Amino acid sequence: MIADAKSCHVGSCFSCIDILTALYFHSLRINTQNPLWPQRDRFIMSKGHGVAALYVTLAKRGFCSPDVLQHYTKDGSLLAGHVTCTATPGIEASTGSLGHGLSIGVGMALALQKDQPQSKVYVLLSDGECDEGSTWEAALSAGHFGLDNLVAIVDYNKIQSYGAVAEVMGLEPFADKWRAFRFAVKELDGHDIPALIAAFDSLPLQRGKPTLILAHTTKGKGVSFMENKMEWHYHTPTMQQVDLAVEELDSI
């Protein structure tokens, strides 16, 4: 998709695809035949630049035909390069301006506590957007209101658009910051699907507290020439590189 569209963010997609797989194929309460089912869980992809991974997941899960994927970021297509709620059924909110997704999730979680208390709200954030003050305002609100139906997941691949997270704006001690905002925190390998499923099955981690899943991931996971390479935040793979990547991924 990304190579054909001459688009970008493939590294960011590979760092979160296992998280999306665990959510959409095990943990989320959803109905592909009734995407607006009131009792559903809500998922917000705050790191909107990784939308190619979300579109593929939604197609594989049955929210839309895989045929629509060939139109990704093409002129006139609904499949924009950042999450757009009109693109396909199953998308709850448009995102892309980093730092907005958790605020949207907090609002949804507050409403659902009153109207659909069995429903959860999952928000997938990038580590880079935790530079944004709006993220921490939302976190402060979530802790204050005791939103134990809210699950924030940080795709902690430790590389943002122009450098290593530690160099651009260091976040450590990252887990302790979330605990200070009254979150219950679980750290895990974000590519270990059984570990992700086990964590999601145990929600909420603590009654009366929102949950933070700190998922340690690898940018470009599974492709040797992409892993931990900052340039794959923006690079578009050539078709020759696609062939090499598919060969490596098929061997896993």
Please, which residues bridge with residue 214 across strands?
A: 154, 187
pLDDT category, 209, cuts 50, 70, 90?
A: very high
Q: What is the pLDDT of residue 252?
A: 83
pLDDT tens, position by position, 161-180: 889 999 999 999 999 999 99
Best CA proximity match to 52, nearest among 200, 252, 244, 236: 236
Check pLDDT > 90 for residue 126.
yes
Here the tokens at position 137 are 């305002």
Query: Roughly how many angstroms between the first and final C-alpha of the chain, as a whole number?
Result: 21
Alpha-carbon gap, residue 91 to 238, rounded angstroms: 29
Q: What is the pLDDT of residue 162?
A: 86
The one-letter code for the residue type at 81 is G
Check pLDDT > 90 for residue 28.
yes
Check pLDDT > 90 for residue 103.
yes
pLDDT tens, position by position, 44-83: 999 999 999 999 999 999 999 999 999 999 888 888 889 9
Q: What is the pLDDT of residue 79?
A: 87
Q: What is the pLDDT of residue 101?
A: 97
Averaged pLDDT for residues 77-103: 92
Averaged pLDDT for residues 74-93: 90
The structural domains of the chain, ordered by start, are 2-250 (3.40.50.970)
CB 216 within 8 A of CB 188: yes
Of 80 and 131, more confident: 131
pLDDT category, 234, cuts 50, 70, 90?
A: confident
Query: For the chain, what is the mean pLDDT?
Result: 95
Q: What is the pLDDT of residue 75?
A: 87
Q: Are strands 184-189 and 163-164 parallel, antiparallel or unpaired?
A: unpaired
Q: What is the pLDDT of residue 150?
A: 98
Check pLDDT > 90 for residue 96.
no
26: which DSSP letter?
Answer: I
Averaged pLDDT for residues 81-103: 92
Contacts of 203-206 with C-beta under 8 Å, sequence gap 24+, read: 203/120, 203/151, 204/148, 204/149, 204/151, 206/148
Q: What is the pLDDT of residue 100?
A: 94
Helix, strand, coil percentages, rounded to 5, for the chain: 45, 15, 45
- By percentage, how much of the chain surpasses pLDDT 90? 88
Here the tokens at position 152 are 């924030």
Check pLDDT > 90 for residue 236.
yes
Q: What is the pLDDT of residue 76?
A: 86
